[in-house]
Structure 1
């Protein structure tokens, strides 16, 4: 249950004993002062002793092993008024502590006492070390790691330090430790902003500035966090509130840093924008003898350049350095390798060798011929070159012995081709590029090269086309590099075409590349062509591999799981895995994680063009239907696990595939959210009666994604696509079900008129085809819509009808949902006891069927009713439990809505700081109901801030609320206008 105890960041909890390093840690003593003074041995708590005994222990612990004299300890415990037997008392306490800790731990020396413990045995020392390490890591340029370390340090606190320990020393130390904790929090919040977590930081900073109103650094961080969150007016209002407070309380102006920040916000200083990743500029290029010339417009790849260069540097030791660089055709392997080789040239003063091994052609270079060329390049006469491969390889290694030579083996076919070409001697190094990962090349440092980042891609495009043309059409330029899939070869081709055509604008090229069916044909210039590059790899595939490559490319979605791929191919999982791993080895497919595979965008287009050429349309339709069938079977199983007692799974169409079987609820939920983008993409591309039926039912089974926040927009696009396709195909049953899903997405976004239209049509179509579930679901939705439009009697009628329909169908979950919504309607009609009773009925049903996901919604409804009844502790209990369930079930938008309701309870109970904190969390996460609910949250936040004396920021919140609510046509706009009235009392 939520308690009124000031800021809750970080969350306080009872820590486990601190763990240290070493073999005897299990029997070591551990101590805590960042909270109650406690001690453990081997994980078992030791008797704490009297408050005075704990005061003695604290005084010794905080001396970092130094001896404290008896006089110092007396002064620490009693100050200027020690008891007459103070020295004897000190000795008694020390004797008791020694019995608990051991004589070797608490020692007597030099007329005093000292603790002999390891530094990491005390939580305060560990916290100090973590903070110091964080400072070093931050200075080294890793704010994310520094943030994690600071959070670990803060996590060691367990409430007030030295809690309930008496004496002047403890009081002074409490003040010091609390100040240090605040400094750590400021550092952590500064790091939050540095890594771009500004929206999340606003909530915490709002609470902290309320708890520590005169702490200007926190005000400064809050202003910056608000500014970076797009809330400039609020940021400036924070300054105005701070200035007024400082004048009233201290008679001073804000510090220079705060004033300067206000000025920078006023002029929209671009340096205040959220930090972006800085890319290291490539170093100056060198000109070796045998290496190909590096491209003059080499761009980005800083991390790869650094990684490869560092590995090449190991050749100066006792081993030969070999780096094997793999990646899709056109990704820039050769360009990168040549660039790195040029940079590494000073490390290899005895020469650099280069050969294109033609690994993708039907006539790859033979190692014997390559070795002959290398030996001649190293100065051996033709007559000295042996005839056989073994002899040439041996002579090659002997010739390189004691020399420092770099060998660049470009476009290798496989490991067997390059093994004889490796120098094999310390001081030398080899760089290998290939479309195949050299997993069987012993000792090689393997590097997988991915496409460029968007920033790098735009920079490369600009260097070829010209910065002026790109700056003039930045968005079109971003569209071009995006259409190129950030593939360097494709970007280079597109840019070269544009550079050669001065009459073209960038937008003309972007329009040409927007057509996916012609994109590969457009990406060719002279002897450079993306399609030709892919064809080289495709031509080397075996028939089964080529078929898998074509069929898997038909499915939309960012990637694909192994199980889903097996469904597409209609093959066993093991056989499918063998095919996919073979495609990964050829770099035509990528393995983003174990068991997950993806195409580069342009490779997918090529795979589809091959499928259109070599597969029948019936085969393609069947493959995509199997994929939808697999997703529906698995999603329905997840739905049944998450929502026991809900009959939806009995109403979705039968599937031919079993889908994935889950060991527990958590794994089922993990599957749904990890597959969200893929299954929604599959639904969105559905055509034809069978696939549309499967897609509509899949949207039902995966409806939790609509309320997740992260997946809501993709769910909406899929639902609209299925609805429109079903309507065009005349599939009435499928259209009715799809319209139930579109009703839901409109409801979540607060588009009530659109939602009502969808729900009405869904009910009409469902009645026409005799489909029961869409009828009572639509009644439930129309009840929610009428409630939000202020039509409470109509809402009551719809919801009672929905409850009756669900009960007749035996769908307990839907009945409970209608009852909880009916509870809200009764509240609006000022029937508070009835509202509480209905919500309690909903809670009871969900508990009986063990439906924990929707139990959160029932507790939420009950919490709202209890709030209106003025039963604040009970309301907080229900809403806090609802919040925990929403978080556990990843319902982000409901999580934000629960924070808003909790804020209302705190505000009603006159806990303004807590109310403001929860409002900020609601704004950062988002809420069910779109702009209307956001406006209501801002009204509540403004009321809380006003109660905290932050009148200027409150007014900014109400202004934004008024704008949002008026645009939404919401009745709450009148409340915002009243609050902004000059006559209103703030």
Structure 2
């Protein structure tokens, strides 16, 4: 028993951080009833200060105080004095004309101790004093006091967690996550959660935390995350290289354009969304101006630079705005790509809100192609180049920058900077012959660099009289300066449908093991632009010229085969259970190989080319469509995938694998009857294709409630995968059978199959399959009412699901985890898991 040594009387202890609790030593102190409790609680809430009688009346009788209320307050206060004298030998309550004051003195008050501990930096100890809702059970007269104390507690907890988040040895992530889910408007905690996850190497979870908050704030409150959260999110992206930095290399030897550069500089400080439209004829230097200025001004845009070649003028179809947005959104960290141009454009503008981003849209065909790609926030600036004047953009307020040819002096300076003293004496004549076109000047300079012993005046005679009228003469002249193998490669590269390409793709086009020397020669002759890291680009005018040269149909087949085999390798790296479509290999193809992250990066970079090839007629079209529509990085976009797959069914036919993939997208879009009908047309295929057909039937039957039929089909799927020797797919089938047995109540059988799946996935090094198996085992332990084991196995699976952004199975497993925590009595952990699952499901339904 706690006693005062000087008086031998027990100390009193008062507690209001929960239900009112008064004790003399260890024994509860009995009060006369609820009214006396309310008087005491109010005096304790304002301990050391005088409380007016009217305030006490309002707290004791919040609705309809009696006429005798003031006298009753006097009686209640007198009764409290007697209680305190009898228990501790002191009154503790002082009376004045202003009201009543309670001074705990030597006695303990948890509220005062709470503030004392906070002031001393002992936050955890202070928060440990809380026992529940302050003043619980005392009625509505204490709602405002309880709310104020609860806000004080939340502020203390927020400060505690945000400070501890910086300690990498402290495991505060679960508390941060629970707090952030319960209080989404308390920005510092979510910012601390993102930072803590990032610092602990859990980058995917950090990005998920931001996305969950953004979706919830938008859905419930119609607002975006505040600056603290956005800055924490951007810190993750910057460190991981996901702040976009897509600019190609700056042009070499840029000269002139002082007025245009000054006009672009003038847009940096404008408050409204800004658009600059650079227009002019082909070869006039639009792209060079845009890139030169973008590199010069990039530091004004800390949130990144986006760049896209819109292919408005060239041999290939102009870039679709929806495809460009897919690339931009991926670069901005979006992992779940929606269908439809309007939806993507809206999400793009949302992601740019509040950010300072530069968007360079090169080689636009018209304003309609550009409009969905323009940012809508004041911090962003778009620079658009095109051969047309882009009049609609100008009407909408874009700043016009029409380009004229370089002046004779600027042309001469460009040649002088590139050729040095060799330009003396002939520079004016050469500049005049080139008509002020930067592209022609660059090609002349490249020609001169390749023939250092020939005088520039002699080269001028070789160029001919038609340079300014027909740039093809310059191109053919430059092409003659390289060897036959390089010239052949140049002609073939014109058939590549992308804005740029790598050495492996060029090697497959040529059917050669190594084309790096040829690419360097072409770049040295000004016929290609080197963009670093083995990547090259071809100007659209040069591509036009390349397409006039003799081609090789077999080269285009090799390119298609290159992309097919590289895409299959990337897909398998991302998901070992993915079944590559069959297609005979072509000689001379240099396919690429990957580990998981590199496969995802390849998809991000090459997806537009892969889709373009999948839309072309050819013997590999069906296989390319299957490879192009594989989605791990891009979950969703089912309608777009279905369109690509259906288009690959030339003449209404198509092999069984293609039909299965079509049915899969129909099912994902909710067109179940169509999916069943499509699957019914698949017959007589190889075991692996029949296994994929069976797997989709398993999913459809389970969704329709036919669990027994689904289980029978899953066993058939397992048999077919074993027959085809697809070990990773066997593991997946074992997990499916385990899950279906669990749904039918066959827990022992389910555990046997799940354990086998876990053993085989561990043996094969299949981490994703291992997570599925462990989640299934956790669920089975839950059904067997073994919560501790359920929590253990589910806890192992969840980090992998988060890393792979497998949101559907993640939400499902979190629900099972919540049930397991509930069963074990850990209601706080159950609530946190359930809230996270709800947030994920809401995001998926958005």
TM-score range, shorter chain: 0.3 to 0.5
- TM-score using structure 2 length: 0.48
- TM-score using structure 1 length: 0.42
